[in-house]
Structure 1
């Protein structure tokens, strides 16, 4: 199967990581900013709706106080037609609160009205609002209805009682919903270029104020915000309104009337600025991304170059100049340099095994492991190359007791058993040695101290858990040390490992201890 080269692999992986990182960052940034914008719009609309609801509540209370004051004056002068006419004109013109004002007797006859153009004085008034006011005989704000003048209106009234508490009639004012009224002047149009606006609904879900005059009086159902505000709740919510538009709405109730004020902004308008911003970010980031990819391609070539040279040189290991060619390769980063040293070490080991050392001189006849001469040659080679390695010095616990109790033949079998366990627990590149007697050494080229400790611990546990030629109970103790280039001699390294082994014996055997670091001058 065709293999992908390292340059293409690095470039491809970098491109994938860059795209994933940019995509994730872009998406996360968009989501965070979108949520912040929407939360800000929701909170702004909630605060504004609450402010306008408070203003409307204050306005309605002021209007009812006006009417209540007038009702208290009317009770004693119900037969004074001139004064009644003057009073309704005063109510109509003093504060401009009402589009029309009526004073109605308990038998539904209009005693006075303003403006004069209504022509209702002396007539029996039979409208939904009039009937409700006469029936309830309490302060009242009606739901929208068509009045005698043909206008869609909300009627606000106060009952009139004499000193004995008898009901005499009511005085009230109308707000014409399709004409300019005090509610419109309070709320304003609030129809901005971004599509934000405010509307008011009554207890029956009728729109009593809306930026679209054609919708005033319309009954709205299925809107969760309206349902919430009519439950006297305040807050904010994203919703699809009755016209199918995605909105960010804030709402608040008007307590005395049960009305609800809703301020809302189209979600699309809120996010348009963010969408333009994110598009601009992509445009501005593209040139930088291209430059980064070119830089990655150049770095990929530089990273792959030493490895390509090593691969080419490794094909001619049998050449006398192979070591020289490999040594001339510039490993400008640590992994390439380590690989170069490992290749040189492999060459040195190969030449050592093929020519300079006799196998019989470097191996132990009983176990087949390297003997002390082979161990020393390997360490000397690594010291010459400056290649770091770790060393595990191992001793069989109470081995003399094995020879004394079972004989030297069984003792030899135990040594072979331990050698086999060392092979099972070590790496293929590790050098396994018998230093003499019951003492063994494992050399781990390129391994750090932690890796050597793990191997030693794995070997110790394997021996302790296995059935040896003497049965169960055979254990090992070990000292572990690490050599860094230029740090010390092999003699010093072995001494430190031996001291760690001695401590392991002294602390009860069947354990692995690390050597103290080399003394610094």
Structure 2
């Protein structure tokens, strides 16, 4: 009967164990990074959609202010044709916000248009926007509607009131959603790489902006992101679009007109980046695996040799040379220990690689501080050890102004500058985290609220007195709470620190506020 020799069994077992470890490492890494990439992409898209929603609200507010200024001027000069013509031309041409501008009297007759060749002067308009403006007699942003030319239009107007509060008519501007204007530029200022998309819908699920202008006016059904955003919700979701492409979508609603903005990126593109990362890990790991396999084959041969010697010595125990042979076999245990040590070294190297990947997942790449994932893990350990700690939540005052004035590159340098200041004014065992944007947390173990307040004030004053990378001084606002003195519920403590931060912002910024004792 054929029996497999021990050397082959050892080599087979060692190879299969190493291969299983390699596969487990690669698959585990892939799954962990896949979840992280999808989570980060969804959050990034949600944040970008929220930013666009805010920018759109600000843009519409600005247009209404422009119309309000013109309406105030026309309130005392509506019969001055030259002034009317100049004002309509200015509104239509100064920043490409309106595709056309009209000035209408209280009877609904058009007095002036820009461009002047619209052929509407003297006529009474019965379009949706014009009728609403005339009947409501108050500032208006109409819902999108199809005009006489078949174009999808948004009409904005502002009433003209004379000094005696008599209604004289209105000044209005039309935004053609199929044509170039400032609104399309605002929403279209995006690099449409790798299939990423931005689109805007109104309450009726009608597309009022899309990178493909031919789709403007199209009604979109069975889209979970659109269903949520028209309810006024913001968030993120995975969905399959009308072309049956899997997308990672973030969405947000505008405050002023209730439009929904959706930012989405193909899931396949996101995972393509992960595949590239996995190939890189494989390139670094497989050579080590092959080297380890070669070492295992050699060690397997070495293991089999003394065992064969022992087997040959067994029938000859009465031989005068048996003691010498057994002595030689005793070295077998030393070699086995060395093999075990070699395997442990191999596993240790793989563990270090996984550890480095885990560190990257828990660290903010810009500042080198812990991110929210790392923060949650550390706080969980502290709670398990019943370690009390003070909580400081910090936020840069007017940070948006830094980005708008100096650019996001300088804004990143300011964030790194603040992170360094936090390191300088905390102890080695303190925990510093960046949880998003310009918001930071500092956790001070075994410190009272009064001691933490002193730390916060020293940090705040040091930041205020130091010149930031922007070339000017910045300030920070700080909220303070304590676990478990404030509450034994960590979520309540963190929320209290946030509320204290908001209170500091409300009280003029550049100060430190304690959490309210009423909870």
Both structures adopt the same fold (TM-score exceeding 0.5)? yes
What is the aligned partner in structure 1 of residue 115 from structure 2? 115
Cα distance in 1 between the residues matched to 2:175 and 2:16: 66
- Indicate if the aligned counterparts of 2:201 and 2:261 stay in contact, CA closer than 8 A: yes
Alpha-carbon offset, residue 183 of structure 1: 0.7
What is the aligned partner in structure 1 of residue 333 from structure 2? 334
CA change 1:328–1:69 in 2 (3 A) is: closer
What is the aligned partner in structure 2 of residue 152 from structure 1? 152
Q: Which moved more, 1:275-284 or 1:170-179?
A: 275-284
What is the aligned partner in structure 2 of residue 485 from structure 1? none
* CA-to-aligned-CA distance 1:477-502 (integer Å, 9 cap, x gap): xxxxxxxxxxxxxxxxxxxxxxxxxx
What is the aligned partner in structure 2 of residue 298 from structure 1? 298
Say whether 1:200 aligns with 2:182: no
Q: Secondary structure at the match of 1:46?
A: helix
Alpha-carbon offset, residue 184 of structure 1: 1.9
TM-score for both structures, normalised by structure 1: 0.59
Cα distance in 1 between the residues matched to 2:71 and 2:327: 111
CA change 1:301–1:337 in 2 (3 A) is: closer
Structure 1 residue runs of 5 or longer lacking an equivalent are: 339-521
Q: Secondary structure at the match of 1:143?
A: coil
Q: In the TM superposition, what are the counterparts of 1:240-389 in structure 2 within 5 Å?
A: 240-316=240-316, 319-321=318-320, 323-324=322-323, 326-327=325-326, 329-334=328-333
Cα distance in 2 between the residues matched to 1:162 and 1:94: 25
* CA-to-aligned-CA distance 1:339-383 (integer Å, 9 cap, x gap): xxxxxxxxxxxxxxxxxxxxxxxxxxxxxxxxxxxxxxxxxxxxx
Alpha-carbon offset, residue 219 of structure 1: 1.9
Say whether 1:92 aligns with 2:92: yes
Q: Secondary structure at the match of 1:331?
A: helix
Cα distance in 1 between the residues matched to 2:118 and 2:72: 25
> Is the radius of gyration larger for structure 1 or structure 2?
1
What is the aligned partner in structure 1 of residue 505 from structure 2? none
* CA-to-aligned-CA distance 1:287-321 (integer Å, 9 cap, x gap): 4322221211111122222222222332455x555
What is the aligned partner in structure 1 of residue 382 from structure 2? none
Q: Secondary structure at the match of 1:155?
A: strand
Cα distance in 2 between the residues matched to 1:81 and 1:72: 16
Structure 2 residue runs of 5 or longer lacking an equivalent are: 338-519
- Indicate if the aligned counterparts of 1:236 and 1:248 stay in contact, CA closer than 8 A: yes
Cα distance in 1 between the residues matched to 2:305 and 2:209: 77
- Indicate if the aligned counterparts of 2:306 and 2:332 stay in contact, CA closer than 8 A: no
What is the aligned partner in structure 2 of residue 362 from structure 1? none
- Indicate if the aligned counterparts of 1:191 and 1:197 stay in contact, CA closer than 8 A: no
Cα distance in 1 between the residues matched to 2:88 and 2:328: 108
- Indicate if the aligned counterparts of 1:248 and 1:266 stay in contact, CA closer than 8 A: yes
Say whether 1:209 aligns with 2:209: yes
Alpha-carbon offset, residue 120 of structure 1: 0.7
CA RMSD across the alignment: 2.8
Q: Which moved more, 1:170-179 or 1:92-101?
A: 92-101
What is the aligned partner in structure 2 of residue 190 from structure 1? 190
Aligned length: 337
- Indicate if the aligned counterparts of 2:53 and 2:254 stay in contact, CA closer than 8 A: yes
Q: Secondary structure at the match of 1:264?
A: strand
Alpha-carbon offset, residue 182 of structure 1: 0.9
